[in-house]
């Protein structure tokens, strides 16, 4: 990174001058540069050494070649029972002459004359000393047509009373391997390994040439990007894979300098930029891209410098994103092919701009954009609406979100005075009921996707409605009626004039015509007479009403559904496809059922996560079956005759376990049992003095757990099942779902648990490690458990 300084000329008027300097003999200065600069020392090592390795590839003209970052057990430079993290490049290597300047001199740097590289302060190569007192360097250089590998150890030793940093040359040899440098940093413990992996993933997340990761527990180094161009990356943090989010929730903006992320302090931006920077949609992160040198960083490179120049550069970038955003919004608003569609697009954009939560709940199936992209566009609108000098915020949002469509003003609420709209839908008791009559509705409402019938008879008729119920039981229908003056006037408060009616009627008719709704005549609906006679054998295919448990937003409820039964063939027709319509996109492959006396018994308590119609065990099995594409439906006991060829929930579960050739279900259960008892914390158990039999048992349990963990990272179904079982696993649960674990596993588990019972100190440590509650695991000092632990400390050897 090119380092620039502001030079000023002063005229000396007398006196003498002296030059400031650094006392290189003072080890405190070296320690300050090495150790005291970094708040996050592991993060500093991950950032600086990985950046240096990438710079080395760039310097050699191999910028598109990924560096290699490995977590491994060392068998040569380090002792066999330790592990290290290494950073390897394919650069030109470091000759003995350059080694002095790069590693031995603080402030020594070869990168200050170019913005092609990340470094420049001459400190980064020494950052491993912030974490450890020794690390290793292996570098291969080409000299006189030969490739020579040099090995060094950088170490902090004591020279009398002071600490001294030394570079020890361990040897050199000729080699045919690729030139380059490998920095190996020994790891102190397992916890640090996890921290290093997380920090490496964080700092390299947005690299265009991502590193090759070897030995990492998690290989996931991507984000679900919503939008990207040369100035910005936008992604929704809620959509990231994995449990840990990338940035704190209070971070909205990130400066990406040479592809390295620096979260920006929003409070500082607001104060310095006079609150011009929007705060909306914090789950959607805006990563503003900068080239090396555009925005300066602090000496530790852990944060940017909040100087006036930097803040102005950031704000200019922010404004350029808004300018580009105007074009994105225009492209979005030019997509609709009808007035109705244009209003849906406008409504969705306005909801997203006004309220973060509303965009998640709106129906956008007719929009060719994801909800995450809508959130991003909504954030752009909110940001552009922040200029209150020209518009109030709400007025600006309306102005941006409601463009004309072929000369007509789009609207986000269809309001009718002289047209009555009635929506009919199935309720939980299998009755087609009329929702409250509406004179207005949102264009994004699902009602507009229902069949629409224009009433042209004197009144609605039960026989026609019965036919509509039979034909449209799955999605309902709409009845629309044009009110004449008398009907309209009777519905109003106070006297109304014919002139007023005519104006409103003309406006309503124009809107209805603009919407171009496909309607049918109510009088054309065939009347359905003598329903009981019709169902007695005259119809080969009948509708059977069932219930499907469906999650909508944060609530779960039993939803009405209808499947068709062929009496002649005694089979259901397209039942899987019909049920799949009522699921949340799980791609259903089969069905099973549970039965109750009547369908109304299938209900949920909205204030509880439990499903009242199912036992706890049945609910767990239902979730597990759903993870494998099998949906459980609720059936009335009076209809069981139709379901003789459909498995019950218990039968479906047994069949799934029997046909599971890879034993993934049993392995998920075993893994959950191991984790529930804390037996997956091998860093504790491996340090115990164990007999051969117990050691083998612990090894087998650990192997089962890690294999299932590895498979769950590759297979979503296995990951889902593991999550389900981990929340519910217990001996009584296993008995109730009739799961038989193999004898070897039972013996290993029994031996391990008996060992822990005999060693309460270890048992206690595992309990503490395995506790997820905020308060943690607690022991009463005068309690029985504490007294037993004290007694057991006399004999800690495990037999």
Looking at residue 554, what is its pLDDT?
Answer: 60
Contact 594, 618 (CB under 8 A): yes
**CA quadruple 84, 87, 88, 93: dihedral sign:** negative
Q: Which one is predicted more confidently, 735 or 23? A: 735
Q: How far is CA 770 from CA 718, 731, 734, 777, in A?
A: 22, 18, 21, 9
Q: Is residue 31 predicted with pLDDT exceeding 70?
A: no
Looking at residue 695, what is its pLDDT?
Answer: 76
Looking at residue 80, what is its pLDDT?
Answer: 47
Q: Is residue 793 predicted with pLDDT exceeding 60?
A: no
Output DSSP code: residue 482.
E
Q: Is residue 783 predicted with pLDDT exceeding 50?
A: yes
Rg value, the chain, Cα: 35
CA dist., res. 8 & res. 637, Å (int):
92
Report the candidate in 496, 532, 508, 349 with the shortest Cα–Cα distance to residue 419: 508
CA dist., res. 129 & res. 33, Å (int):
10
Beta bridge partners of 555: 552
Report the candidate in 194, 99, 107 with the shortest Cα–Cα distance to residue 148: 99
pLDDT tens per residue, range 76-118? 444 445 789 999 999 999 998 888 777 766 544 454 454 454 5
Q: Is residue 210 predicted with pLDDT exceeding 50?
A: yes
Looking at residue 148, what is its pLDDT?
Answer: 95
Contact 94, 181 (CB under 8 A): yes
pLDDT tens per residue, range 326-371? 999 999 999 999 999 999 999 889 888 876 554 444 555 567 788 8
CA dist., res. 187 & res. 136, Å (int):
12
In this structure, the dihedral spanned by the alpha carbons of residues 755, 761, 764 and 770, taken in order and rounded to 10 degrees, is -70
Q: Which one is predicted more confidently, 685 or 350? A: 350
Looking at residue 329, what is its pLDDT?
Answer: 94
Looking at residue 268, what is its pLDDT?
Answer: 85
In the structure, what pLDDT confidence band is assigned to residue 646 with cuts at 50, 70 and 90? very high
- The alpha carbon of residue 514 and the mean position of all alpha carbons in its chain are separated, in whole angstroms, by 40
What are the phi and psi torsion angles at 349 (to 5°)? -70, -40
In the structure, what pLDDT confidence band is assigned to residue 447 with cuts at 50, 70 and 90? confident
Looking at residue 452, what is its pLDDT?
Answer: 94
3-state helix/strand/coil string of 535-599: HCCCCCEEEEEEEEEEEECCEEEEEEEEEEEECCCCEEECHHHHHHCCCCCCCCCEEEEEEECCH
Q: Which of 164-168, 277-281, 326-330, 717-721 has the highest mean pLDDT?
A: 326-330
Q: Which one is predicted more confidently, 477 or 749? A: 477
Looking at residue 539, what is its pLDDT?
Answer: 55
CA dist., res. 448 & res. 306, Å (int):
52
pLDDT tens per residue, range 296-306? 998 888 899 99
CA dist., res. 377 & res. 346, Å (int):
11
Looking at residue 513, what is its pLDDT?
Answer: 93
pLDDT tens per residue, range 115-141? 454 554 446 678 898 899 899 999 999
Report the candidate in 630, 666, 664 with the shortest Cα–Cα distance to residue 650: 630
pLDDT tens per residue, range 500-556? 999 999 999 999 999 998 999 999 998 876 544 444 444 577 888 998 887 765 667
CA dist., res. 379 & res. 376, Å (int):
5
Cβ count within 10 A of residue 94: 23
Q: What percent of the chain shows pLDDT beyond 70?
A: 74
Instruction: Provide DSSP, 200-249.
Output: HHHHHTT-SSPPEEES-S-------EEEE-SSEEEEEGGG-SSSS-SS-T
Q: Is residue 14 predicted with pLDDT exceeding 70?
A: no
Looking at residue 121, what is its pLDDT?
Answer: 46
Q: Which of 78-87, 196-205, 378-387, 677-686 has the highest mean pLDDT?
A: 196-205
Looking at residue 78, what is its pLDDT?
Answer: 45
CA dist., res. 176 & res. 326, Å (int):
56
Q: Is residue 16 predicted with pLDDT exceeding 60?
A: no
Beta bridge partners of 86: 70, 184
CA dist., res. 589 & res. 64, Å (int):
44
Q: What is the pTM of this model?
A: 0.61
Looking at residue 176, what is its pLDDT?
Answer: 92
Q: Which of 203-217, 617-631, 706-720, 768-782 has the highest mean pLDDT?
A: 203-217
The domain made up of 27-214 is a member of CATH 3.40.640.10: no
Looking at residue 355, what is its pLDDT?
Answer: 63
Contact 231, 88 (CB under 8 A): no
In the structure, what pLDDT confidence band is assigned to residue 36 with cuts at 50, 70 and 90? low
**Token pair of 216, please?**
């990492």
Q: Is residue 474 predicted with pLDDT exceeding 60?
A: yes
Please name the residue ranges forming H helices in 88-212.
96-99, 128-131, 190-204
- Long-range contacts: 108-116, Cβ < 8 Å, 24+? 111/1, 111/55, 112/1, 112/2, 112/3, 113/2, 114/1, 114/2, 115/1, 115/2, 115/291, 115/292, 115/293, 116/58, 116/292
CA dist., res. 136 & res. 170, Å (int):
10
Looking at residue 42, what is its pLDDT?
Answer: 94
Q: Which one is predicted more confidently, 684 or 329? A: 329
Looking at residue 242, what is its pLDDT?
Answer: 46
Average pLDDT over residues 247-254: 86
**Start and end residues for every CATH 3.30.565.10 domain found in the chain:** 27-214
Looking at residue 496, what is its pLDDT?
Answer: 80
Q: What percent of the chain shows pLDDT beyond 90?
A: 30
**CA quadruple 588, 590, 594, 596: dihedral sign:** positive
In this structure, the dihedral spanned by the alpha carbons of residues 536, 539, 540 and 541, taken in order and rounded to 10 degrees, is -110
Output DSSP code: residue 740.
-
Q: Is residue 295 predicted with pLDDT exceeding 90?
A: yes
pLDDT tens per residue, range 370-420? 888 888 998 899 888 876 666 666 778 888 899 999 999 999 888 899 998
Q: Which one is predicted more confidently, 173 or 727? A: 173
């Amino acid at each position: 990174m090119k380092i620039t300084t502001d030079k000023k000329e002063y005229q000396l008027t007398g006196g003498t001058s002296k030059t400031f300097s650094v006392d290189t003999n003072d080890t405190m200065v070296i320690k300050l540069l090495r150790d005291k600069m970094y708040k996050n020392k592991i993060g500093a090592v991950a950032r600086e050494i990985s950046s240096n390795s990438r710079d080395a590839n760039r310097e050699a003209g191999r910028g598109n070649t990924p560096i290699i970052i490995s977590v491994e057990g060392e068998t040569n430079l380090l002792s066999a029972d330790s592990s290290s993290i290494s950073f390897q490049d394919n650069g030109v290597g470091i000759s003995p002459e350059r080694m002095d300047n790069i590693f031995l001199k603080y402030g020594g740097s070869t990168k200050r004359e170019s913005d092609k590289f990340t470094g420049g302060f001459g400190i980064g190569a020494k950052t491993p000393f912030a974490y450890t007192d020794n690390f290793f360097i292996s570098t291969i250089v080409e000299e006189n047509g030969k490739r020579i590998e040099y090995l060094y150890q950088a170490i902090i030793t004591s020279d009398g009373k002071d600490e001294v940093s030394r570079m020890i040359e361990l040897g050199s040899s000729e080699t045919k391997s690729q030139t380059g440098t490998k920095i190996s940093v020994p790891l102190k413990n397992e916890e640090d390994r996890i921290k290093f992996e997380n920090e490496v993933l964080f700092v390299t997340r947005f690299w265009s040439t991502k590193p090759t990761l070897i030995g990492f527990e998690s290989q996931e180094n991507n984000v679900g990007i919503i939008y990207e161009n040369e100035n910005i990356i936008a992604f929704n943090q809620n959509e990231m894979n994995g449990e840990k989010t990338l940035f704190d929730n209070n971070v909205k903006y990130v400066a990406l300098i040479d592809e390295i992320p620096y979260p920006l302090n929003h409070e500082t931006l607001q104060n310095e930029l006079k609150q011009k920077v929007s705060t909306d949609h914090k789950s959607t992160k805006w990563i503003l891209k900068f080239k090396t040198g555009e925005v300066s960083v602090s000496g530790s490179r852990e944060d940017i410098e909040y100087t006036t120049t930097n803040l102005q550069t950031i704000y200019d970038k922010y404004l350029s994103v808004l300018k580009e955003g105007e074009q994105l919004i225009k492209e979005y608003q030019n997509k609709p092919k009808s007035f109705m569609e244009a209003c849906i697009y406008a409504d969705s954009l306005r909801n997203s701009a006004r309220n973060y939560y509303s965009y998640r709940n709106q129906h956008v199936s007719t929009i060719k954009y994801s909800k995450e992209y809508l959130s991003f566009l909504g954030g752009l609108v909110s940001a552009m609406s922040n200029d209150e000098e020209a518009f109030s915020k709400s007025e600006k949002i309306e102005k941006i979100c409601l463009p004309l469509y072929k000369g007509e003003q789009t609207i986000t609420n269809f309001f009718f005075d002289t047209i009555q709209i009635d929506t009919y839908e199935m309720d939980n008791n299998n009755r087609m009921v009329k929702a409250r009559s509406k004179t207005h509705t949102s264009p994004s409402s699902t009602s507009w996707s229902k069949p629409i019938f224009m009433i042209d008879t004197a009144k609605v008729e039960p026989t026609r409605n019965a036919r509509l119920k039979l034909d449209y039981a799955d999605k309902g229908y709409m009845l629309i009626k044009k009110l004449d003056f008398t009907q309209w006037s009777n519905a109003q408060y106070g006297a109304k004039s014919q002139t007023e009616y005519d104006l409103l009627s003309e406006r309503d008719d124009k809107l209805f015509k603009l919407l171009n709704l496909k309607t049918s005549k109510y009088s054309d609906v065939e009347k359905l007479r003598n329903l009981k006679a019709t169902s007695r054998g005259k119809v080969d295919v009948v509708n059977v009403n069932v219930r499907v448990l469906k999650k909508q937003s944060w609530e779960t409820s039993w939803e009405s559904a209808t499947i068709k039964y062929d009496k002649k063939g005694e089979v259901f027709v397209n039942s899987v496809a019909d049920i799949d319509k009522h699921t949340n996109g799980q791609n259903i492959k089969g069905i099973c059922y549970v039965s109750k006396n009547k369908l109304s018994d299938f209900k949920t308590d909205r204030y509880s996560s439990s499903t009242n119609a199912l036992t706890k065990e049945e609910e767990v099995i239902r979730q597990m079956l759903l993870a494998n594409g099998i949906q459980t439906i609720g059936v009335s006991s009076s209809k069981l005759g139709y379901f003789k060829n459909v498995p019950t929930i218990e039968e479906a579960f047994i069949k799934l376990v029997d046909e599971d050739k890879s034993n993934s279900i049993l392995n998920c259960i075993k893994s959950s049992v191991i984790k529930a008892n804390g037996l997956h914390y091998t860093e504790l158990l491996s340090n115990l003095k164990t007999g051969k039999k117990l050691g083998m048992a612990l090894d087998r349990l650990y192997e089962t757990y890690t294999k299932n963990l590895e498979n769950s990272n590759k297979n979503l179904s296995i990951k889902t099942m593991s999550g389900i079982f981990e929340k519910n696993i217990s001996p009584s649960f296993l008995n109730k779902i009739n799961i038989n674990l193999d004898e070897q596993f039972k013996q290993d588990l029994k031996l391990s648990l008996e060992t822990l019972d005999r060693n309460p100190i270890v048992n206690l440590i595992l309990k503490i490690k395995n506790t997820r509650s905020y308060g943690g695991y607690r022991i009463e000092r005068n309690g029985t458990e504490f007294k037993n632990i004290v007694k057991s400390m006399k004999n800690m050897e495990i037999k």
